[in-house]
Amino acid sequence: MARIRIIGEDEAEGLLKEIYDQLTARRGQLAEVHKLQSLRPKSILRHMELYMEIMFTRSELSRAEREMMAVVVSAANACHYCMEHHGAALHFYWKDAARLEELKKDFSRAGLNERETALARYARHLTLHPQEHAGKDFTGALRAHGLSDKGILDATLVISYFNFVNRMVAALGAELEAHGGEGFQY
């Protein structure tokens, strides 16, 4: 249950109603994480712009790699909501439920290739130990697996974005929708 007042779809008016209608039309339904921001409708718009930029624009990172990092970050933060949503998106690419469950528990047992492992290590470490990154460069392993500076930036943006969303969900109490992460258009 949300820890702050949220405006539901049935009571939304004006800009918020327009945003809810657009999200429902585009994604199939409205996510609880968006409702958490209902008191500041423009933040939902900016949030979705950032999400679309980070997760869907052209990148040397594949969509599967980005969703995999989202799950690794969310697992490190114990954010069940995001693990389920982005696990469902990753399952679309992997089509392997057992592998996905291993990723959620321990990415080192999920059968990742070397590049995916480097991205997962970077995601987990930056999530759990951000203070260590200020004084030391941890990007070498990513470069060794062919990522350019732009690819490293893209990976860092994915990791940073999911830490932001995980904290919003944890602090404000988004509940997983009855259907889990399934049914959303990723």
8-state DSSP, 60: S
Asked whether residue 10 is assigned to any structural domain, the reply reads: no
Q: How many domains does the chain have?
A: 1
Domain extent, residue 97, equals 63-172
Asked whether residue 138 is assigned to any structural domain, the reply reads: yes
Residue whose structure tokens are 């089509």: 95
The Cα–Cα gap between 84 and 104 comes to: 9
Output the domain CATH number for residue 105: 1.20.1290.10
Asked whether residue 33 is assigned to any structural domain, the reply reads: no
Burial state string for 13-34 with b = 16 or more CB within 10 A and e = fewer than 16: eeebeebbeebeeeeeebbbbb
Task: Please list the pLDDT of the chain residue by residue as tens digits (186 residues).
Answer: 899 999 999 999 999 999 999 999 998 889 999 999 999 999 999 999 999 999 999 999 999 999 999 999 999 999 999 999 999 999 999 999 999 999 999 999 999 999 999 999 999 999 999 999 999 999 999 999 999 999 999 999 999 999 999 999 999 999 888 765 555 444
Its pTM stands at: 0.93
Render pLDDT for 134-150 as a digit per residue (tens, 0 to 9): 999 999 999 999 999 99
